[in-house]
Structure 1
Amino acid sequence: MIDPRHLRTVRALGDHGTVIDTAAALHLTPSAVSQQLASLARSAGCAILERHGRRVVLTEAGKVLLNHAETILEQIERAHTDLRHFQQRQVSHLRISAFPTAIAGFVAEAVARLGVRLPGWHVEIEEAETDESLTLLLDHDVDLAVVMITPNQPGLADHRIELLPLAVENYCAVLPTGHPLAGSAPIRLADLAAENWVLSRHTTSCREVVASACAMAGFQPRVKHHATDFAAAVGIVAAGLGVTVVPELGLPPILPESVRIQAIASHTPKRQIAAAIRRNSDHGELVEMLRSAATDRCDSRVEEAE
């Protein structure tokens, strides 16, 4: 009989490509992974792996087994969900990952609210950027991942993942106090075309969002300084060295007196935030709490800054 645990191992091999990486993802030794795969081959009655140099790859039979593994593991996921629904008013233990500004902005608050509503629930939080969160989710290291939806995250299209919208977050402009546009009505993004900009480097999701909005507004930002941390970017602006745009949740809790926050009325960059779950799982109570906390925080953050 095929052991479902071994199916999870072959699926992880399909995701990660090597026995060593599979072992790391499953928190096993490479020897244990090899033994599970050998046991799976014996249960299946055929070879599921073959060597290509120092690497092992799935045989055609192994690929067939991998396709069935996806279906079987989804059914097991559905069974766990049904059982959790049966017990949900009693006890549940969940793990959630999220990027830093989401944790500080609304995830921690949502988990605290859930604990008040359902005292038997225990939720653990782990900080991780979107790409790492998706890996943790598929490896069953977390049950839900709070992620940013951006074009540079191909993992979001994985058929095993379902995305549930939480919030659409506006970016706002951060200007030095003495800037001609500081303190005025909402500005157009194009008003900043001639400025020196502070942005993260090209590989980040936030940079993709801002660059796309600027292109729609008809210009390419002239980036003079690079800062991935939003507080660092605001600090550079506070010194009078440029301007930047920051998502509402990324605004530091205490702003320097030498900066002003301006709403952007035209071609506003937006960050889409979603809860990613494994398909056929269901964490409705947690998702609704996250959505409520995210909406509350995004609605209030700019008002606090002003």
Structure 2
Amino acid sequence: MFSIDRLRALSAVAAHGSIARAAEALHITPSGLSQKLAKLEREAGRRLLEPHGRSIRITHAGRVLAGHADRLLDQLSAAEADLADLADEVLGPLRLGGVGSAVRTLLPGALDALTAAHPRLRPTVTDGEAVDLLPRLLSGELDLLLIESWTNRPVFLPAGPALRTLVREEVWVALSGRHPLADRPEIDLADLRDTPWASCPPGTEPYEALVQALRARGLEPDVRFALTEHLTQLAMVERNLAAALVPTMSRTPAPPGVRFVRLRPGLRREIKAAWPAGHENPPVRACVAAVEQAAAARDEDGDAP
């Protein structure tokens, strides 16, 4: 393993052309610099310098190693600068996870603004359901989640994550325009006794919320289509194969043959940011603020009831 201090000595000789000038630049004595270079030659197992008149010159092996040294020293300098900036700067990796509707609706605009303001930030995004993403947050694999919580079935979180509610929105019943109840201004789930359902897979927040909402109205759920994406569920709804519970955020885009009817009694969904408590670093804080701004802009545009 090469010593960084000795590689720095070789890089200085390559840059300044002599031991004397390199020693002066490094603020050490020429003899001290020569000792470092001699030890580096033993580590490399090759001659790095050779006599040239009354001075020295770098051998081919020395130039090769000096090139690597320059790149390594540049990288170390960048690492030192990044660490010095960590207390205040928004930079480095930001590993995000979220439910598909929040990822699609909120994150693109938020990340566009965030990376424009902080070009050294490197976000990555994984979509999925809270049941799959929460273990990755708790293990440290992800930094921040956008998860959903339904009023009739609040998301359960183990001890550890901090939470902030970003969006509160109405949930609608999606029906085909061919469904006999599609023209009603509002509907009670009990009126859909003979209607099959499309929902996210069992174990997810939307599925469990649907099951509890139907059972609260005396119905046993008939979920025939377990589909992760709301848009795919709506494709089944359009063909009058099923109904679906759809939050406001997922109403767009929708197939033209789908109608959205208000629930009686009403049901709402929240999108929450979750991150490990005590680990609210600058990238996490900045991202939460950016998503809040994206959600507020969406409300001002009339996309939420």
TM-score where L is the length of structure 1: 0.60
Selected match of 2:279 from 262, 278, 281: 281
Q: Deviations over 1:74-105 (max 9, x none)?
A: xxxxxx999634234xx443221112222112
- Taking only the aligned residue pairs, the percentage that are identical comes to 22
Distance in 1 separating the partners of 2:237 and 2:145: 32
Contact 2:137 2:143 in 1 (8 A): yes
Structure 1 counterpart of 2:271, one-letter code:
I
Query: How far is the alpha carbon of 1:297 from its aligned partner?
Result: 4.0
Query: How far is the alpha carbon of 1:136 from its aligned partner?
Result: 2.1
**CA shift in 2, pair 1:292/1:203, >3 Å:** same
Q: What are the within-5 Å matches in structure 2 for residues 159-178 of structure 1? A: 160-178=160-178
Count the aligned residue pairs: 217
> In the alignment, is residue 105 of structure 1 matched against residue 142 of structure 2?
no
Structure 1 counterpart of 2:272, one-letter code:
A
SS in structure 1 at match of 2:178:
coil
Work out which of the two has the higher radius of gyration on C-alpha atoms and give 1 or 2. Answer: 2
Selected match of 2:269 from 254, 268, 271: 271
Structure 2 partner of 1:72: none
RMSD: 3.1
Distance in 1 separating the partners of 2:236 and 2:213: 22
> In the alignment, is residue 243 of structure 1 matched against residue 250 of structure 2?
no
Q: Deviations over 1:163-197 (max 9, x none)?
A: 12111232211112133432442334444344333
Distance in 2 separating the partners of 1:215 and 1:295: 34
**CA shift in 2, pair 1:157/1:267, >3 Å:** farther
Contact 2:131 2:204 in 1 (8 A): no
**CA shift in 2, pair 1:271/1:221, >3 Å:** farther
Q: Deviations over 1:183-219 (max 9, x none)?
A: 4423344443443333344322111112223344x23
Distance in 1 separating the partners of 2:84 and 2:268: 36
Contact 2:196 2:222 in 1 (8 A): yes
SS in structure 1 at match of 2:291:
helix
Distance in 1 separating the partners of 2:265 and 2:86: 43
**CA shift in 2, pair 1:86/1:196, >3 Å:** closer
Q: What are the within-5 Å matches in structure 2 for residues 64-83 of structure 1? A: none
Distance in 2 separating the partners of 1:198 and 1:177: 16
Q: Structure 1 stretches of 5 or more lacking a match?
A: 1-79
Contact 2:97 2:126 in 1 (8 A): yes
Structure 1 partner of 2:261: 262
SS in structure 1 at match of 2:106:
helix
Distance in 2 separating the partners of 1:284 and 1:122: 15
